[in-house]
């Protein structure tokens, strides 16, 4: 028997994308948000779906809507600030948890702090299960499989075109990351480092280093991996200046009170859930993901390129695919899972293609 899909944050920008994608696939999720008026309006718009009210500031209300075996999709960010109540509610209820974060500290916490509890509860945790960072996991795993045992490193770059602008939630998450450490997988272990510490070029296109799920998940599927690096190429020529800003911010946050001041300023001027590009604006956007697997001397062994839909529509579709797969019993393990060990490489490739991104060439 398939489990329920519970969509928390259903009336936000990403939540609405996920809700529509689920309905388009024939699902009838329970829509959950903090505003009764807004969630009931969305329910009517989508054909009379069930709805409920819950608020991260009252964690017991999230737990109250969950049942054992549910697939909870959480789109309430910034996740460093608001993500943990939904995650804990899922663990307490024995429900699977899928989220839309792209925030390295939250991702790290899922893998390092909640993996054991999820295994004990017999549930799966799929963090950052959208454009951040599912297609990179797929491209990286494909490149490593094709490169074979000689591969010891992989570099994964994310790029977009078409002028797609970030949503309010994305801006809020990015602003919050100025005050938070990220990480890298280097020399066979996870190491802490700031976002944008490094700049790398793919076919002449610069990108800055970021923390993703690839650093946790790809070493599981390729045990000989020593280095897994993830790069964000959204900034183009601004990548080098961003590196300098990151360095300055990192130094500043070591001073007493500065981290809190940055977070408070970000909270006042960069609001989450303020909407994002509409369908017509998103339509020209394209996503490009490249993964290069290399040997111990740094020589490339295999390159995989993916291309497809804009990041926002892909994220909505990918979260919907993941929720339906989990609710349908397709999850291959418990605990904090990467996309490949959650579903297998071939099934994941099919899911990513269904959501709008596929291999090129």
Q: How confident is the model at residue 347 (pLDDT cuts 50, 70, 90)?
A: very high
Do 341 and 329 touch, CB atoms closer than 8 A? Answer: no
Q: Look at residue 173 and tell me whether its pLDDT is greater than 70.
A: no
**Closest C-alpha to 219, from 232, 235, 230, 208:** 230
CATH architecture group of domain 134-309: 2-Layer Sandwich (3.30)
A 10 A CB-CB count for 348 gives 24
Position 167 scores a pLDDT of 56
Position 361 scores a pLDDT of 72
Q: Judge if 5-131+313-359 and 134-309 fold alike in CATH terms.
A: no
Position 250 scores a pLDDT of 53
- Is 5-131+313-359 in CATH node 3.90.79.10? no
Do 310 and 131 touch, CB atoms closer than 8 A? Answer: no
Rounded to 5 degrees, what are φ and ψ at 276?
-155, -165
Transcribe 102-144 into DSSP letters.
--HHHHHHHHHHSHHHHHHHT-EEE-S-BTTBHHHHHHHHHHH
Q: How confident is the model at residue 243 (pLDDT cuts 50, 70, 90)?
A: confident
Looking at residues 282-303, what average pLDDT do you find? Answer: 97
Transcribe 155-203 into DSSP letters.
EEEEEEES-PPPPHHHHHHHHHHTTS-EEEEETTEEEEE-TTS-EEEET
Q: Look at residue 241 and tell me whether its pLDDT is greater than 80.
A: no
Domain positions in the chain are 5-131+313-359, 134-309
Residue 252 to residue 262: CA distance in whole angstroms = 10
Q: Look at residue 247 and tell me whether its pLDDT is greater than 90.
A: no
- Write out pLDDT tens, residues 109-161: 999 999 999 999 999 999 999 999 999 999 999 999 999 999 999 999 999 99
Lowest mean pLDDT of 39-43, 76-80, 177-181, 200-204, name the range. Answer: 177-181
- Write out pLDDT tens, residues 315-343: 999 999 999 999 999 999 999 999 999 99
Q: What is the pTM of this model?
A: 0.91
Residues 274, 102, 237, 136, Cα dihedral to 10°: -130
Bridge partners (DSSP) listed for residue 184:
191
Q: Look at residue 271 and tell me whether its pLDDT is greater than 50.
A: no
- Write out pLDDT tens, residues 10-19: 999 999 999 9
């Amino acid at each position: 028997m398939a489990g329920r899909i519970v969509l928390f944050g259903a009336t936000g920008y990403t939540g609405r994308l996920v809700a529509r994608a689920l309905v388009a696939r024939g699902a009838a999720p329970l829509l959950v948000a903090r505003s009764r008026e807004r969630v009931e309006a969305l329910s009517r718009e989508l054909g009379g779906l069930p709805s409920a009210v819950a608020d991260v500031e009252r964690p017991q209300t999230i737990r109250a809507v969950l049942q054992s075996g549910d697939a909870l999709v959480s789109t309430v960010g910034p996740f460093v600030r608001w993500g943990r109540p939904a995650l804990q509610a899922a663990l307490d209820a024995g429900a699977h948890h899928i989220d839309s974060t792209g925030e390295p500290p939250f991702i790290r916490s899922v893998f390092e702090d909640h993996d054991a509890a999820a295994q004990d509860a017999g549930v799966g945790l799929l963090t950052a299960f959208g454009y951040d960072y599912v297609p990179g996991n797929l491209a990286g795993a494909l490149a490593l499989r094709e490169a074979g045992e000689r591969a010891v490193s992989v570099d994964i770059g994310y790029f977009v075109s078409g002028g797609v602008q970030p949503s309010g939630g994305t801006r809020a998450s990015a602003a919050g990351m100025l005050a938070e450490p990220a990480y890298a997988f280097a020399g066979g272990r996870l190491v802490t480092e700031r976002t944008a510490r490094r700049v790398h070029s793919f076919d002449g296109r610069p990108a800055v280093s970021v923390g993703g799920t690839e650093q946790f998940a790809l070493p599981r599927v390729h045990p000989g991996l020593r280095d897994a690096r993830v790069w964000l190429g959204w900034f183009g020529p601004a990548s080098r200046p961003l590196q300098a800003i990151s360095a300055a911010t990192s130094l500043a946050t070591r001073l007493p009170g500065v981290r809190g001041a940055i977070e408070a300023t970000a909270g006042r001027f960069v609001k989450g859930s303020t909407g994002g590009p509409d369908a017509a604006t998103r339509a020209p956007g394209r996503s490009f993901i490249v993964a290069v697997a290399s040997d111990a001397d740094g020589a490339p062994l295999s390159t995989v390129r993916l291309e497809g839909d804009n990041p926002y529509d892909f994220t909505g579709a990918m979260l919907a695919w993941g929720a339906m797969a989990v609710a349908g019993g397709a999850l291959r393990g418990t605990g904090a899972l990467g996309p490949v060990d959650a579903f297998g490489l071939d099934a994941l490739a099919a899911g990513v293609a269904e959501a709008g991104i596929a291999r090129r060439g």
